Amino acid sequence: MSSSATVVADPLARIGRINAEHYSHFIEHLGECVYDGIWVGPDSPIPNTDGIRQFTIEALKAVGPAVFRWPGGCFADHYHWRDGIGDPTSRPRTRNIFWGGTESNRFGTHEFIDFCRKIDAIPYICGNVGTGSPQEMMDWLEYCNGDSDLTIVDQRLANGEAAPLGIKYWGVGNENWGCGGNMRPGEYAAKYRNYVTYLARMNLGVQLIAVGHDAAWNRELLRALAGARFLPRLQALSIHRYFSLERQAFNYDESEYHDLITEAHVLEDDIAQADGILKNYEDPAHPVGLIVDEWGLWDRGHATPESGLRQANSLRDAVVAATSLDIFTARADRVTMTNIAQTINVLQCLIETRGPDAWLTPTYHVYRFYREHIGHDSLATHVDSADLGVQSGTGRPVSQLSASTSLSEDGSRVSFAVTNRHYSESVECTLRLPEKTLGDASARLLAGDEAMSANSASSPDTVTPTDLTVRSNNGALTIQLPPHSIAMLTAGVT
């Protein structure tokens, strides 16, 4: 069965610039994300450059510019950065309390920076509030970004980095309402004020990111910071969202699939709620950025600490990823960064490895598609399609199509991301910008026989992009989307 739908974007309704930050990543010392996924070591038989897996370098370089948040996650609040610098053979072996096993500290600050350089990424460090101190985080910041005549800067020079590393993004803790110390909002607010008093005074040009959570936490945190006149120094608030916790990768029917797709819409509510609270407290001249620095599907039945949070990845997850990126793109007025959890081998990853084997997940290809939006402005986008017959958590009907649109600054190029979220029906979709003519178009499609279609070591290209035919139609463009498929189309605008 096939239906028809339209996507209309308003070239005069520019929401905000889409930056590399909007489609970014999170890596943690957890399972096989860092060790094996990224770091195999220079002596490994697995092809690598300076210890970093070659497949990972090439795949992440191709996906485009992005931020990488490191070293956690829960791991961050008991990570002591000094353990991870200097002679690798003298680094201490420490316990990974949350995710199990021994941390070799072989991958530390310098290896992280080297990894970022190799893939043209922007580093984001998450500091330790749970078991650390303001002094420890100040020292880390000075070590990385300092340029003064200081012993700690000499130490960085001795470790091979003459120039400051210029790390812009620094998180003040991670989930301090949970694994980061089980604090109450008032307790975290006091910690945050304490840390920021010193970190901000160092004047090293960084953006400090506070830990947000649900509405009650965010409200109380902002109230505490506003009362203490700390709000002007709050540059960004981070929130996390994992969904579909009880759902399995290969065991569902059509109606469960549609329910699952709907769950991603909780992100709209999270963003609207945080946005509303921020508006109550912030100075409109200095708006606070909202960062969703952990999000994605988590199959709790399979992705457990014992399995290193590994879970199966399928085309269904790519549909959820595209839906989520559309939601973030539509809120580029408030959302300044998002980081999927986690890039390699953990949760909704982009790359999987098993020993020498490595392959790309369907979610990876979504990120390749969305790089077309980067550098453009997000446009208000109206979708007119059938509903999936399900409602979001707050009772809104969920449409068959998800879409986002972006326009180049000079208005000459447009990109449409369009996802058919239906389990079994295809759709003919017409794309238009009112009073404009679209031409010179090309499009790529990510599709598969089933929503459960997946890639593996033995079949790495079961779900891989192909060219999609685009038809011109009186200044508009038409594409045919099979069920559970994602398209990215770019076109000239006159």
Q: Which residues bind ligand AHR (CB under 6 A)?
A: 28, 72-74, 174-175, 294, 341-342, 347
What is the smallest separation between the CB atom of 333 and ligand AHR, expressed in angstroms?
Answer: 26
Q: Which CB atom, from 175 or from 377, has the smaller least distance to ligand AHR?
A: 175
C-alpha of 375 from chain center: 17
Q: Which CB atom, from 143 or from 364, has the smaller least distance to ligand AHR?
A: 364
Local structure of residue 76 (DSSP, 8 states): G
Q: Which CB atom, from 294 or from 377, has the smaller least distance to ligand AHR?
A: 294
Nearest residue relative to ligand AHR (C-beta): 73
Amino acid at 224: A
The closest alpha carbon to 10, from 399, 407, 478, 417, belongs to 407
| CB contact at 8 A, 373 and 329 | yes
Q: Which of 175, 263, 268, 372 is catalytic?
A: 175
What is the smallest separation between the CB atom of 479 and ligand AHR, expressed in angstroms?
Answer: 35
The per-residue DSSP string of 197-220 comes to HHHHHT----EEEEE--SHHHHHH
Q: Which CB atom, from 74 or from 447, has the smaller least distance to ligand AHR?
A: 74
What is the smallest separation between the CB atom of 223 and ligand AHR, expressed in angstroms?
Answer: 24
CB atoms within 10 A of CB 484: 29
Q: Which CB atom, from 74 or from 264, has the smaller least distance to ligand AHR?
A: 74
Amino acid at 432: R
What is the smallest separation between the CB atom of 256 and ligand AHR, expressed in angstroms?
Answer: 24
Active-site residue flag, 282? no
Strand 67-70 to 24-26 pairing:
parallel
Active-site residue flag, 256? no
What is the smallest separation between the CB atom of 153 and ligand AHR, expressed in angstroms?
Answer: 31
What is the smallest separation between the CB atom of 98 and ligand AHR, expressed in angstroms?
Answer: 7
Q: Which of 111, 142, 268, 294 is catalytic?
A: 294
| Residues pairing with 383 in the sheet | 7
Q: Give the count of alpha carbons within 13 A of 285, CB side only.
A: 1
What sign does the CA torsion over 58, 61, 64, 69 have?
positive
Strand 207-211 to 169-171 pairing:
parallel
What's the rounded Cα separation, in Å, for the pair 260 and 420?
14
Backbone angles phi, psi at 243, to 5 degrees: -135, 170
Q: Which CB atom, from 28 or from 352, has the smaller least distance to ligand AHR?
A: 28
What's the rounded Cα separation, in Å, for the pair 173 and 129?
5
Catalytic residues: 175, 294
